Amino acid sequence: MPELLATLIGGVLAAGTGWFLQWRLEASRMKRLKSLMLIGILDDLKSSENLYERLIDEWEKSGTVWFTTLNELRESRQIYLKNRDWLVLVTDEGLRAQIFKYYHRSADLINLLENQQNRKYQIQAKLNEVVRDIRLRDEGTTQEQALERAVQAMEAENRELTGINSLIPQNIQKMREFKREAKELVGSLSDPKSI
């Protein structure tokens, strides 16, 4: 009987030790996963600050939204996009919601800016084509006259282009806000108490 009791106690101790070691191993793995995810998101946010600044600078200098910069912004988000399910490891619910909201809203703005700049290029290309056709049909027409006639023929596109030209600067201003928000998130994620 004492041998049976010793065997039973030994089995319980072995099972308890095995469970405890497994629990510690899983806790350690989750902590490391959270740490790596946060490092990746922090790297992206810091990179995004610079890319927002570059996008704003390019706009101010050329009046153009450069697709290469927008694509860099998209590509820098891959760590977040591939690991967003693991963001639940961030214990602060408000911070977690702020991160989700930041990425969702900024991605929408990136897509919107790309679509607006692309549509602007399409309208301008069509205008150039119409001007060229007018000048080919009427050889005595000057560039200015052909442009004036083309704008009259493309009244709807001209209104659309006017709208786009007023919306893009407003959306560039929103990029300034996202730059500020990214900087605030870097500060929050760098504080170990908040995560």
Is the torsion defined by CA of 175, 181, 184, 185 positive or negative? Answer: negative
Picking from 188, 194, 193, 173, the residue whose alpha carbon sits closest to that of residue 52 is 173
CB atoms within 10 A of CB 103: 20
pLDDT digits (tens, 9 = 90+) for 94-115: 998 999 999 999 999 999 999 9
Kindly state the tokens that stand for 9: 């106690």
The residue count of the chain comes to: 195
- Cβ-proximal residues to 65 (8 Å cutoff; 6+ apart), any chain: 55, 58, 59, 113, 114, 116, 117, 168, 172
Is residue 116 within 8 A of residue 171, CB to CB? The reply is yes
Supply the pLDDT for residue 181. 96
Per-block mean pLDDT, blocks of 10 residues, the chain (195 long) = 72 72 78 84 94 96 95 91 83 90 96 96 94 89 90 92 95 95 92 67
pTM, 2 dp: 0.80
Q: What are the domain boundaries of the chain? A: 34-190
Q: Is 142 helix (H, G, I), strand (E, B) or coil?
A: coil
Q: What does the alpha-carbon distance between residue 134 and residue 125 come to, in Å, rounded to a whole number?
A: 14
pLDDT digits (tens, 9 = 90+) for 57-87: 999 999 999 999 999 999 999 888 888 888 8
Supply the pLDDT for residue 194. 59
**142: number of CA atoms within 13 Å, CB side?**
3
